[in-house]
Amino acid sequence: MSPAESVRLAVRTRQLERVDGVIVVALDGRSGAGKSTLADAIARELGAAVVHGDDFYRDMPDAERRALSPAQGVDRFFDWQRLGDEALEPLRGRRPARFHCFDWIKGHGLGDMIVVEPREIVVIEGVYSARPEFEHLVDLKALVTTEDAKRTQRRAHPAGDRNRQAPEAWDAHWDAAEVVYFETIRPPGAFDLIVAGDA
């Protein structure tokens, strides 16, 4: 069974349990695990709306970002409050989500406004997308896993601007925050589903 099929079956189970209402799926996992690719597959198969967590990268001075401890990075690298308020809350309420995304081309500031139309299924993909603060908004938490060697290769050769990676010195800083998150805040046992992202 493919990762997308596994998620589809889990979503169908949630739909049967709830009968009515929007189903929100969080695809969480380490950088380069394959979350974006899986989200695209689910969108094609289920007609789901997709929100990319990378669009909510927090705009802050580089020196301030680098001064954050790993635990602080979990809380501050992404503007999760804005993600909840501007994307997840409206979509869960069957309203369009309207938000400005981080400008990855310039490396700072906010870019164009994105509008995501509501659907019966909403997928949020990105590291920290299943954080505890979203517990009341997310119905299905899926951990996307891939072996470290493949993740490293993907990060060295990103598929597009959204996945553009910072220099190697920053990668270690970023990885340290991910370790804190996946070891102490959202360990594998805290997810509803674990799927392979190396297909």
| 123 to 18, 27, 29, 42, 171: CA distances (angstroms) | 17, 7, 14, 8, 26
For the cut 80, the answer to whether the pLDDT of residue 77 exceeds it is: yes
Cα-Cα end-to-end distance for the chain: 11
Contacts of 120 (CB under 8 A, 6+ apart): 15, 22, 23, 47
Tens of pLDDT along 29-68?
998 888 999 999 999 999 999 999 999 999 999 899 999 9
- Picking from 88-92, 114-118, 128-132, 148-152, which range would have the lowest pLDDT averaged per residue? 148-152
Tens of pLDDT along 148-190?
778 777 776 554 444 444 556 667 888 999 999 999 999 999 9
Using an 8 Å Cβ cutoff, are 31 and 165 in contact?
Answer: yes
Per-residue pLDDT at 19? 60
Report, in this order, helix, strand and coil percent for the chain, each rounded to 5.
Answer: 45, 20, 35
Per-residue pLDDT at 167? 53
Using an 8 Å Cβ cutoff, are 120 and 33 in contact?
Answer: no
For the cut 90, the answer to whether the pLDDT of residue 106 exceeds it is: no
Q: How far apart are CA 94 and CA 76, in angstroms?
A: 28
Cut 0.85: pTM above it: yes
Per-residue pLDDT at 17? 75
SS3 call for 105: coil
